[in-house]
Amino acid sequence: MDRISTAQMYERGINSMLERQLQLSKTQMQISSGKRILSPKDDPAGAAYALSLKGVISQVEQYQDNADRAKSRLDLQEATLAVVDDILPRVQELMIQGLSDTYSAADRQMIATELRQLNQELMALANTRDSNGEYIFAGYDADTIPFTNPADGVFTYQGDMGTRSLRISATRQVQDRENGFDVFMNVDTSTGTKRSLFDTVHGIITSLEADAPDATYLEDLRLAQVHNVSVRARGGAGINTIEEQVMVNDDFLLTMQTTLSNTEDLDMAEAISRFELEKTALEAAQQTFNMVQSLSLFNYL
């Protein structure tokens, strides 16, 4: 005959209450933390996956920071070169005026004076510094002023040929600055040789000051404008690349965050209904315990 001992009956009742309390407390912890995985044992593969997703998310967020930084630098470069693009037509206009037969030597002298001013402006632009105080057209040597004018008509570039890239995705780097040599020094001329923009403008100045304007500079100026536009196009392409990548990264982050949430976050509705169910089960266990323990033959003796 099957029988049960009194101690066992109590123990069963106590155990079933303890077990239900444990479940209830775990569900409560899940609900209060909002996490399905409280520690890796709850879902070992899921926990490792969540860890790697968090790593990827943090990395891509860093790429977004890098992209912001690169974009702000390219924006500054673009703004600077846009001013150069505004100045060059004025140089051209003055040159054409200077070529005009109606202008006297004194007029040409005045034009030359304005051109000197403009050349200084161009050089100031080439020596632009960013918010960190770095010269943006100095290559890797960004702490040293890159362009100097030690003597009349002498223009030197003291930066280096460094071009710098930042990482904006696991597979993509984008150049965040041009070196001054490529932008201002290595400019095509009508003769097929290369010369600096400052030398070209200075050539115009000296020809005007000598009252012998040289029309070939017009072609040099055009080539300089073409050169500047091509540098701006490179920067613009870089900005486009960044903006594109930032969007891709944002989409990626959203996907990863959704996946992470699916992996480790709790389904609240499910958890709350589970909590209710477990609460009812605990109450039932308590009630049955109470009822069973009051049943005893000794009550009738």
Partner 1 sequence: MSITSIGVSALTAYRQALDTTGHNIANVNSDGYSRQRVDFTAREPTYTGNGYIGNGVEASAIQRQYDTYIASQMRGAQALTSQLQSYYDMASQLDQLVADEDLGLQPAIQNFFNALQELADDPSAISSRQLVLTEAESLVDRFHYFSQQFEDMRSRLNDQIKLNVTEINNLAQAIADVNASIVGTYGAGASDLLDKRDQLVNELSELVSVQVLEQSDGAYNIFIGKGQPLVLGNDAATLSTQVSNLDARHLEIAIDYSYGPQMVTQQITGGEIGGLLKFRDEVLYPTQNKVGLVALGIADQLNAQNALGIDLEGVTGSDLFALGSVQTLPDPSNGSSITVDYNDIGELTGSDYQLVYDGTDFILENLNDGSTQTLAVGLNTVDGLDITIDATGAVAGDNFLIRPTRNAANSIELLVGDVRRLAAAAPLQAAPATDANGNPLNAGDATITQPANSSMTGLPLAADIQLVYNAAAGGFDIVNGPGPPDDFIAYDATDPAQIAGVDFPLSTSPTQFDAFGGLSFTISGVPADGDTFVIGNNSSGQSDNRNALLLADLEDASSLLSGSATFEDVYGQMVSEVGAKTHYAEQNLAAQESLLARTQEGMAEVSGVNLDEEAAKLIQYQQAYQASAQIISVASTLFDTLISAVRR
- By the criterion CB under 8 A, which residues form the site for partner 1? 2-8, 12, 15, 39-45, 47-48, 51-52, 54-55, 58-59, 62-63, 65-66, 69-70, 132, 134, 138-144, 154-167, 170, 173, 181, 185-186, 192-196, 199, 296-298, 301
Minimal distance, residue 199 CB to partner 1, in Å: 7
Sole residue written with tokens 């926990």: 47
Q: Tell me whether residue 240 or residue 296 sits nearer to partner 1 (CB atom).
A: 296
Per-residue buried b or exposed e for 92-107, using 16+ beta carbons within 10 Å of the residue's own CB = bebbebbbeeebeeee
Helices 268-293, 6-33: crossing angle, 10 deg rounding:
160
Minimal distance, residue 200 CB to partner 1, in Å: 12
Q: Tell me whether residue 47 or residue 218 sits nearer to partner 1 (CB atom).
A: 47
Kindly report the backbone phi and psi dihedral angles of residue 26, in degrees, each rounded to the nearest multiple of 5, phi listed first: -65, -45
Q: Tell me whether residue 156 or residue 255 sits nearer to partner 1 (CB atom).
A: 156
Q: Tell me whether residue 115 or residue 138 sits nearer to partner 1 (CB atom).
A: 138
Q: Tell me whether residue 111 or residue 157 sits nearer to partner 1 (CB atom).
A: 157
Strand partners, 172: 169
CB 195 within 8 Å of CB 187: yes
Minimal distance, residue 184 CB to partner 1, in Å: 10
Minimal distance, residue 19 CB to partner 1, in Å: 9
Interstrand relation of 164-169 and 147-151 (parallel, antiparallel or unpaired)? unpaired
151: buried, middle or exposed (CB in 10 Å: 19+, 13-18, 0-12)? exposed
Minimal distance, residue 160 CB to partner 1, in Å: 6
